[in-house]
Amino acid sequence: MTDKKSLLQNKGLLAGVAVVALLGVGAAAWSMGAFGGKGGGGMATEIDLGLMPVAYGENCGFVDEDGKIVINPQFDGAGFFTKDGVAPVSNGGKWGLIDRKGSYVVNPQFDSILMLDGGDTLLVEVGGQWGTADRKGAYIINPQFDEMGPFDEKGRALVQSGDQYGFIDRKGAYIINPQFDSVAMSGDDDMTEIVYFTKGMAAASTDRKWGFIDESGKWVINPQYTAVGQFGENGLAPVLVTTVETTENTRAAEAWEQRQQSAEQRAAAWGYSYERPERPDFSQETETHRWGYINTSGEMVIQPQWEQAGGFGPGGLAPVLVGEDWGFIDSEGNLKINPQFDMVGEFADGPGGVVATVAVQGDRNSYRWGVIDASGTYKINPQFRAISNFDRNGRAVVSSGEKFGMIDASGTYVINPMYDDLRPITGSRDYFFVRGTGGAVEMGRVSRDGKELASVNGQQCDSPY
């Protein structure tokens, strides 16, 4: 959680890539297979919990849903199997892939390995450089980039070469040559859908100023803003405008004047003359930072006036900070939900329409999260320490105290807070849970109605995710 006046970086950005932070989002994005490595923003493939990696001492193996060892412990680290039957494993500090029999499909040879496209494409790191390989480990794109993101639906990947960012295609050829200091990317919770361009434009920066480029890399909105957000469905994007005003430092000027007067008075009393030195320049520059909104033509349609602001989501509302509290405006800049919340999330599709997570301060300086609809009416009263977005099952993961559970659209628990980790499984209607902390834990699969379908006991393996 963040202070009400702090900014968060958008989820899914490459390491070293910054787009604006929009606001204090209400919940961590829990997603099975997400990773924070510099090779990308998520696993971007579906997983299979039929076999789960479990550590026994210093070695990892795989067990089935009954806890029976199927692949003997022999690896230094291991990740989950994909739906089509391959799993990343490491030995000697190198990563490869095995099949469900434990046989190597790709021998351990990569420093890092991340699976894309259902495991058909591997995002790999060798010697600090990133490239891609096929399911047999043969290079498609030789490792050559300092950073590399997953491919979007048009087969474009964001890469860093030296200090600059650009885009390549699936063969490694540049679509947009490296020329930007930063480029933003976003995606869904498990990063299976990567988005670089919204409304045909991507947020990019040069010389510490942000603007927007088109799909050829040409500036369509010149870099001029301190920070920017992505364009919403209504074609508006939040931008941070910095203005500099030059004023005189009156306190310093008055102090200088008093010193001169004192010197003149002493000189007169002692009978000698005093000549004032040249008056210094007491001007000072004051920066003011305010958020407004531009359209896709770069025109400022809502004038900069807020200390913080978020993007427009479904329902046509965007969060803004007014004084100490957050409220929501419409596309004309009119307040539609009065400022009253300590922290907020952007509106998103949820059960029964669009909803947003909001927080108010509770006892002992702690925040309590709930859910409102587009009219500002509470659908779920503030009561949780954290809450995720609702998933396609109409469920949201919540935390109460130090434990995680799950609620439905009415806020009723379908899984009581009892797990130390609980997250959706990509491509499934079930969820992955972990019970316990430290070395020995219980982990497995639980249905959206709270029925534990499978579990095993053991230690968690070192994972590439």
Residue by residue, pLDDT tens for the chain (465 residues) are: 223 332 222 222 222 222 222 233 222 222 222 222 333 333 456 778 888 899 888 899 999 877 889 999 999 999 989 888 899 999 999 999 999 999 999 999 999 998 887 778 999 999 999 999 998 999 999 999 999 999 999 999 999 999 999 999 999 999 999 999 999 988 765 556 789 999 999 999 999 999 999 999 999 999 999 999 999 989 999 999 998 777 788 898 899 889 989 988 888 889 888 889 999 988 877 889 999 999 999 999 999 999 999 999 898 999 999 999 999 999 999 999 999 999 998 898 888 888 999 988 866 568 899 999 999 999 999 999 999 888 888 899 999 888 999 999 999 999 999 999 998 877 778 888 989 876 678 888 899 889 988 788 878 888 776
What would you measure as the largest C-alpha separation in the chain, in angstroms?
A: 104
One-letter amino acid identity for 203?
Answer: A
Beta bridge partners of 354: 349
C-alpha–C-alpha distance, residues 108 and 196, integer Å: 32
Burial of 243 (0-12, 13-18, 19+ CB in 10 A): exposed
Alpha carbons 262 and 455: distance in angstroms, whole number: 84
465 CB-contact burial (10 Å; exposed 0-12 / middle 13-18 / buried 19+): middle
- In the structure encoding, which two tokens stand for residue 304, read together? 């900069």
Question: 48: which 2 tokens?
Answer: 């299979």
| pTM, two decimal places | 0.80
The gap between the terminal CA atoms of the chain, to the nearest Å, is: 23
The DSSP element (H or E) to which 234 belongs, if any, is none
Q: Is 370 exposed, middle or buried (0-12, 13-18, 19+ CB in 10 A)?
A: buried
d(CA 296, CA 397): 35
Our separate counts of H helices and E strands in the chain read 1, 43
52-79 as b/e, with b when 16 or more CB fall inside 10 Å?
Answer: bbbbeeebbbbbeeeeeeebebebbbbb
